[in-house]
A and B are shown apart, each in its own frame.
Chain A
């Protein structure tokens, strides 16, 4: 090596890539505990009441839609031959898909040891559960005579007929009810240590006498918290032994939820792919549906978390790194979805099946082409903007784009369901589907149902897993960082 080369080499240093901390501003443990607990412990903010009132009003639309449906019959929906699957299935798939991001964050990212999941996983899991509740409304009520919905389950009924287990629709009953139940179990188990923290803080306040002189309501609320959280915390003591079993159970649940979440949307896609209708009968559906579900779910996580971050000042916990990562997942899954759209067209041409070719040309240029372009624009072009860090850093823009993703993914399900049915094998029976006002009310209202549940969650339950957030902080590392007390800010 010549001296010149050596001189250059000595100057060239490997780039120092600084890992962005997951909790910024060098916060300490107490700050994290206080920040998260005070959301629950302080007086209900005015905006919460306003949002709650609006959410309840919106939710009442679902109530009205369903009451009218049950009292009249499914004829009040816009379904008519040949389109016998309309908004109900579209809305069902839309809401179920949204739920998938919560499980992805809590389970898949846990197995992949992604520390950034900690501050968003609780809210995302809550989103999953509430989305599954909204999704469940549609298959439950589309049977019309809702009081017979229990026939979906393998229970003996008056006709002595059991469910038919070859049907993907029956698989769906099992997949979705398992998904809902396991999500609740996972969510609840993750919450136990935090409920213990809220319980202990209430007891501390009651013992310390901070309530002396304060009104009965403030004190009464802490008495309520002391018992309410204690019941659900089950006597959690933060013991090393508790944590050991808890961590194992958490890991196992993550391991169980991962194949579960993949199976749920796979089975949902079988509802379509199991049929012989052109446009549905494709093998690309399972992976394409799962990617789409994760895409729409991350869209919804961004829609929910960005306002919460702003309202509660959670910028040190949900940092730019978190938003970057979520945007990148949207970009990745959005690109997979875009690839699937194009691949469907390619296969329709390459497969040389005239019905299949027609179905896809009809999607792009037929009577529903407006919906197709809506879908394509929102789902394929919007996430591509996330390549630019300037876009990812603009929270308001990210929020607007997350809405586009939600809209686009709803239209994807609409396109798949309705275009294939409207123009099937027999041109004489072709039709055009339009929703009725009852369809619109029922679907619009589910956003209210979702918001009511989510607002209740934000107000009464710990928004983030406190222990897990502390675990990813440098102070939580048992080997090294001893600057816990020194540099920390209160």
Chain B
């Protein structure tokens, strides 16, 4: 039998799941996560996680979109092929505003989706947890906390006892 990848424990309902997460955080574990088929309100705080970095990607995308918008219009209608329309200036930041606006939103959206994938380290089709039958039940109503063996505080015996002490049931070792 190979070394354990993680120890998983299940919790019967959302409040006990939430409070257990707070206890794991307070116990000082670092390489662990909660698993549930719904986003639990306030869980990032209970897990001691910082604010998501996704908006940074959104901002970069939006800035790129805005720049592309202003560049294509000024290049195409002012520089490369000056277009006389009603004797108006070849370029002004006002008339092509919808172009800049839409491109800002378009690339912000791509940045956001890309940012979600990057911050979540997805796509990652294989994970040892997927091998575990109990873990697959998270798709239904199971709520699981998994503490990984690469956590510096991980100790097969002590961690198992700790998970039991915070109300975990069906405690299992997931092996790779």
Which of the residues B16, B41, B116, B137 comes within 8 Å of A249, measured between beta carbons?
B116
Give chain A nearest CB distance to B168 CB in angstroms.
15
In Å, the complex CA distance between A112 and B157 comes to 47
Interface locus among A159-167, A276-284, A327-335, A435-443? A159-167
Q: Known A240-B44, A249-B112; judge A485-B12 contact (CB<8 A).
A: yes
In Å, the complex CA distance between A30 and B133 comes to 16
Output the residue of A185, A245, A256 with the most chain B CB within 10 A. Answer: A245
Q: Known A165-B77, A178-B105, A204-B136; judge A33-B37 contact (CB<8 A).
A: yes
Q: Known A186-B109, A478-B43; judge A30-B140 contact (CB<8 A).
A: yes
Which of the residues B13, B37, B52, B124 comes within 8 Å of A466, measured between beta carbons?
B37
Q: Known A200-B136, A249-B113, A249-B115; judge A235-B13 contact (CB<8 A).
A: no
In Å, the complex CA distance between A476 and B116 comes to 23
Give chain A nearest CB distance to B114 CB in angstroms.
9
The answer to whether B133 and A204 touch across the interface, beta carbons within 8 angstroms, is yes
In Å, the complex CA distance between A484 and B142 comes to 12
The answer to whether A478 and B15 touch across the interface, beta carbons within 8 angstroms, is yes
Looking across the interface, which residue of chain B has its beta carbon closest to that of A246? B116
Q: Known A467-B38, A470-B38; judge A256-B105 contact (CB<8 A).
A: yes
Q: Known A33-B141, A200-B139; judge A475-B112 contact (CB<8 A).
A: no
The answer to whether B98 and A248 touch across the interface, beta carbons within 8 angstroms, is no
List B residues 2-43 near A (Cβ within 8 Å).
12-19, 21, 33-43
In Å, the complex CA distance between A485 and B83 comes to 70
Which of the residues B43, B95, B109, B133 comes within 8 Å of A244, measured between beta carbons?
B43
Q: Taking the complex as formed, is A480 at the interface, i.e. its CB lies under 8 A from any CB of chain B?
A: yes
The answer to whether A207 and B133 touch across the interface, beta carbons within 8 angstroms, is yes
The answer to whether A165 and B96 touch across the interface, beta carbons within 8 angstroms, is yes
In Å, the complex CA distance between A181 and B54 comes to 19
Looking across the interface, which residue of chain B has its beta carbon closest to that of A161? B81
Looking across the interface, which residue of chain A has its beta carbon closest to that of B96? A165
The answer to whether B126 and A235 touch across the interface, beta carbons within 8 angstroms, is yes
The answer to whether A267 and B98 touch across the interface, beta carbons within 8 angstroms, is yes
The answer to whether A235 and B125 touch across the interface, beta carbons within 8 angstroms, is yes
Q: Taking the complex as formed, is B162 at the interface, i.e. its CB lies under 8 A from any CB of chain A?
A: no
The answer to whether B122 and A234 touch across the interface, beta carbons within 8 angstroms, is yes
List A residues 174-207 near B (Cβ within 8 Å).
174-175, 178, 181-182, 185-186, 188-189, 193, 196-197, 200-201, 203-204, 207
In Å, the complex CA distance between A485 and B16 comes to 13
In Å, the complex CA distance between A274 and B52 comes to 42
In Å, the complex CA distance between A161 and B82 comes to 10
Which of the residues B98, B103, B127, B133 comes within 8 Å of A237, measured between beta carbons?
B127
The answer to whether A484 and B35 touch across the interface, beta carbons within 8 angstroms, is no
The answer to whether B12 and A484 touch across the interface, beta carbons within 8 angstroms, is yes
Give chain B nearest CB distance to A262 CB in angstroms.
11
In Å, the complex CA distance between A244 and B50 comes to 9
Chain A residues lying within 8 Å of B85, measured Cβ to Cβ, are 164, 166
In Å, the complex CA distance between A181 and B111 comes to 13
Contact mask A151-171 → B, CB, 8 Å, 1/0? 000100000111111101011
Q: Taking the complex as formed, is B60 at the interface, i.e. its CB lies under 8 A from any CB of chain A?
A: no
Give chain B nearest CB distance to A177 CB in angstroms.
8
Give chain A nearest CB distance to B41 CB in angstroms.
6
Give chain A nearest CB distance to B109 CB in angstroms.
4
Looking across the interface, which residue of chain B has its beta carbon closest to that of A162? B76
Q: Taking the complex as formed, is B120 at the interface, i.e. its CB lies under 8 A from any CB of chain A?
A: yes
Q: Taking the complex as formed, is A20 at the interface, i.e. its CB lies under 8 A from any CB of chain B?
A: no
Chain B residues lying within 8 Å of A29, measured Cβ to Cβ, are 37-38, 140-141
Looking across the interface, which residue of chain B has its beta carbon closest to that of A231? B125
Chain A residues lying within 8 Å of B77, measured Cβ to Cβ, are 162, 164-166
Chain B residues lying within 8 Å of A166, measured Cβ to Cβ, are 77, 85, 88, 95-96
Looking across the interface, which residue of chain B has its beta carbon closest to that of A477? B14
The answer to whether B38 and A174 touch across the interface, beta carbons within 8 angstroms, is no
In Å, the complex CA distance between A191 and B18 comes to 24
The answer to whether B110 and A248 touch across the interface, beta carbons within 8 angstroms, is no
The answer to whether B95 and A482 touch across the interface, beta carbons within 8 angstroms, is no
Give chain A nearest CB distance to B30 CB in angstroms.
12
Which of the residues B39, B110, B133, B137 comes within 8 Å of A243, measured between beta carbons?
B39
Give chain B nearest CB distance to A14 CB in angstroms.
28
Looking across the interface, which residue of chain A has its beta carbon closest to that of B53? A245
- What would be 30 A-B contacts, judged by CB atoms less than 8 Å apart? A28-B141, A29-B140, A154-B72, A168-B98, A174-B103, A175-B102, A178-B102, A185-B112, A203-B130, A204-B136, A234-B125, A237-B127, A237-B130, A238-B36, A238-B37, A238-B139, A239-B34, A240-B40, A241-B47, A243-B36, A244-B49, A245-B54, A246-B120, A248-B55, A249-B116, A252-B112, A471-B39, A477-B41, A480-B15, A481-B15
New A-B contacts (15) at CB < 8 Å, excluding given A29-B38, A235-B123, A244-B47:
A29-B37, A174-B102, A189-B116, A238-B36, A238-B37, A238-B138, A239-B33, A239-B35, A240-B36, A244-B44, A247-B39, A248-B54, A267-B98, A478-B42, A482-B15
User: 9 nearest interchain CB pairs?
Assistant: A29-B141, A478-B18, A162-B76, A248-B52, A470-B38, A240-B34, A249-B116, A200-B139, A234-B123
User: Which residues on B are within 8 Å of A, measured CB to CB?
Assistant: 12-19, 21, 33-44, 46-47, 49, 51-55, 58, 72-73, 76-77, 80-81, 83, 85, 88, 95-96, 98-99, 101-103, 105-106, 108-110, 112-113, 115-117, 119-120, 122-127, 129-130, 133, 136-141
